[in-house]
């Protein structure tokens, strides 16, 4: 175990919410207008209620679920993997082999926190990490060491014989 931690800052909104939340709000308002103005029955009413629920989830539910799930999130970095355990009701583990990752990208957050992501893998993201620069440097070193362990040993020129 090289490092273990948990989010010290739980962001309520992330960049993707800048598109999803307004779209969800528009969807919810449209469904609500349809329900109230048209007073549908049967399948149309059921469909409008489903659209309303999807819109409300996009507008506020998604952020609330993420915020609550981050309260139960833990992160770990070993000499071979980066691991994130998270979930609202049931913990799910996501892990990536360090040797298969590119250098982590740090997006600074409020109060000296940050989010570390691996653009090519997309599997593990460390949100709300305290001391993010230190963790990024530790991850970068661990990734380099993991890749070096996987690389075949370099052949020595003195070991080859001329034909």
| Dihedral sign computed on CA atoms, order 62, 3, 120, 90 | negative
Res. 155: pLDDT tops 80: no
Residue 123 is predicted with a pLDDT of: 80
Give the range among 26-30, 54-58, 152-156 with minimum mean pLDDT. Answer: 152-156
Select the highest-mean-pLDDT range: 4-18, 74-88, 119-133. 74-88
Q: What is the mean pLDDT of residues 130-155?
A: 90
Residues 6+ apart with CB under 8 A from 156: none
CATH number of 3-9+73-150: 2.30.29
Q: What is the mean pLDDT of residues 19-27?
A: 96
Res. 37: pLDDT tops 60: yes
CB-based burial of residue 132 (10 Å sphere; 0-12 exposed, 13-18 middle, 19+ buried)? buried
Beta bridge partners of 4: 76
Do the Cβ atoms of 96 and 121 come closer than 8 Å?
yes
* Beta-carbon-side half-sphere exposure of residue 153 (alpha carbons within 13 Å): 4
């Amino acid at each position: 175990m090289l490092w273990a931690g948990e989010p010290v800052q739980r962001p309520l909104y992330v960049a993707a919410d800048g598109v999803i939340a307004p779209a969800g709000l528009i969807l919810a308002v449209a469904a609500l207008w349809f329900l109230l103005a048209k007073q549908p029955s049967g399948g149309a009413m059921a469909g409008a209620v489903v659209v309303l629920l999807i819109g409300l989830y996009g507008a506020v539910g998604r952020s609330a679920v993420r915020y609550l799930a981050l309260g139960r999130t833990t992160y770990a970095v070993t000499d071979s993997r980066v691991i994130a355990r998270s979930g609202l009701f049931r913990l799910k583990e996501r892990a990536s082999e360090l040797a298969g990752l590119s250098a982590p990208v740090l997006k600074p957050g409020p109060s000296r926190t940050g989010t570390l992501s691996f653009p090519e893998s997309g599997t593990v993201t460390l949100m709300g990490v305290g001391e993010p620069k230190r963790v990024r440097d530790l991850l970068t070193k661990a990734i380099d060491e993991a890749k070096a362990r996987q690389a075949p040993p370099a052949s020595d020129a003195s070991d080859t014989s001329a034909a």
